[in-house]
A = this chain, B = another copy of it.
Amino acid sequence: QQSDEMAALEERLERVEQELEDAEGDELPWDQYISELGGRVQLDQTFNLDASDDLEDVISDPLEDGAEFRRLRLYVEGAVAPWLDYKVQLDFAGGTELQDVYFKIHDLGAFPTTKIGNFKQPVSLQELTSSKYITLMSRSMLTDFFSPGHRTGIQFSKSFADERFNIAAGAFNSNFDSGEAETTGITSKGQWDISARITTPVIYRNDGRQVLHLGGSYLHRSYEDELEFGLEPEVHKTDDFVAGTILDVEHSNSFGLELAGVLGPAHLQGEYAQMDISRTTGKDPDVDSWYVQGGVFLTGEIRPYDKGDGDFGRVKPNSPFTGLGTGPGAWELAARYSTIDFTDVQDLAPAGFTPAFGTAEQAASEVDVYTLGLNWYPVAHARWMLNVVQADQDALGDATYITTRFQVDF
């Protein structure tokens, strides 16, 4: 009889130990409605090594550089019902900006997963990959120009055939005025965006050691007459290399293609996008852009791909650096070539295009950017990045930058 009692005691003790163990994960389980607190800090330093005289004469002398907190974000997330999650994420790097602030409805039978609130439109693999996990310090000009970033709206998404096909589509209010979303290349003052993205892991083998990702997206944007753009040369803390305002714009249609692959410690990704701009009068110009980027982990890690979301996640070092005499962490080399072409816009001047600096030929030029990167991930939640960027503005010449980032997320 005593041994029965002892067995009962042991069972209760096991339950308690399990509860304690569960509690020690990356969560605050003691609050019923908050499941996670967290954030990220990215501290950047930008050095402009050299710039052509024309760039400095026409844009800014000298071109801007310096230190900045690129992102300083805190978030809270949780669930108020088994089918209803929320997330609130704010960025404090320059004032207060709303990032992800949304409700997510899920697991209601065949009904698609529904997001309502402020979040990223489903456009571009690189945009949808978190800034914590992108390989180079800046996203490409393609992403900056084509993806509207965080917007307020509603999105439906669903995966089919065991995540073989993943579809997301939504409608977004582009002139929402409560809190500015992350800066993107275009400022539209229109009414509603419609966007959709479909992705498929053509190959997904060995727990993601071999991946081939294919994706496509469509974006329709409306404008109140003006399409204003401004793009930095894949270096955040400097001046725009192309910038201006296209007039008499009614709407635009963009198409994007994504290709990405993982092969052991190597990974590759590229995107192509084209925007057709419809104007109420005169010529309808096109803007197109593409980039290709690759990387390799010298220490053998695999870049983790998420089949259902169709994007990349957190790199975890095989052998973390937790102190002197421990592992090396993860080391990664990366490179990117990126290009965007605004030359089709030049003909609109002067009636249909207002350059932000210089002439139409100077402000609506082609830009090509070459980036080399070295990343060190001492542990899974810290990263140090070093980028060398060579930016060629077709009309005004070249500039070279060295940028570095200290990143922690928690």
A92 contacts partner chain B, Cβ-Cβ < 8 Å: yes
Complex CA–CA separation, A16 to B179 (angstroms): 46
Write out, one digit per residue, whether chain A residues 353-382 have a CB within 8 A of any chain B CB (1) or not (0).
000000000000000000000000011111
| Given A34-B37, A76-B74, A322-B82, CB of A66 within 8 Å of CB of B176 | yes
Q: Which residues on A are within 8 Å of B, measured CB to CB? A: 2-3, 5-6, 9-10, 12-13, 16-17, 19-20, 23-34, 36-39, 41, 43, 66-69, 72, 74, 76, 78, 80-84, 86, 88, 90, 92-96, 98, 101, 103, 107-109, 116-118, 152, 173, 175-179, 320-324, 378-382, 406, 408-410
| Given A5-B6, A80-B410, CB of A176 within 8 Å of CB of B12 | no
| Residue contact A67 to B382, C-beta cutoff 8 Å | no
Q: Looking across the interface, which residue of chain B has its beta carbon closest to that of A176?
A: B67
Query: How many Å from the CB of A380 to the closest CB on chain B?
Result: 8
Query: How many Å from the CB of A21 to the closest CB on chain B?
Result: 10
A176: B residues at CB distance < 8 A:
66-68
| Residue contact A94 to B179, C-beta cutoff 8 Å | yes
| Residue contact A69 to B13, C-beta cutoff 8 Å | no
| Residue contact A86 to B410, C-beta cutoff 8 Å | yes
| Residue contact A103 to B41, C-beta cutoff 8 Å | yes
Query: How many Å from the CB of A106 to the closest CB on chain B?
Result: 10
| Residue contact A72 to B93, C-beta cutoff 8 Å | no
A116: B residues at CB distance < 8 A:
43, 406
| Residue contact A98 to B69, C-beta cutoff 8 Å | yes
Complex CA–CA separation, A147 to B10 (angstroms): 60
Complex CA–CA separation, A134 to B36 (angstroms): 28
Complex CA–CA separation, A69 to B150 (angstroms): 14
Complex CA–CA separation, A43 to B104 (angstroms): 13
| Given A30-B30, A76-B39, A382-B80, CB of A67 within 8 Å of CB of B24 | no
Contact of A80 among B20, B72, B179, B408 (CB under 8 A): B408
Complex CA–CA separation, A131 to B234 (angstroms): 41
Complex CA–CA separation, A116 to B69 (angstroms): 11
| Residue contact B2 to A81, C-beta cutoff 8 Å | no
| Residue contact B33 to A410, C-beta cutoff 8 Å | yes
| Residue contact B26 to A27, C-beta cutoff 8 Å | no
Contact of A26 among B33, B95, B98 (CB under 8 A): B33
A to B CB contacts below 8 Å, 16 in the list: A6-B6, A12-B13, A29-B30, A31-B36, A31-B37, A37-B37, A41-B101, A43-B116, A43-B152, A74-B76, A78-B410, A80-B409, A81-B323, A81-B378, A84-B408, A92-B98
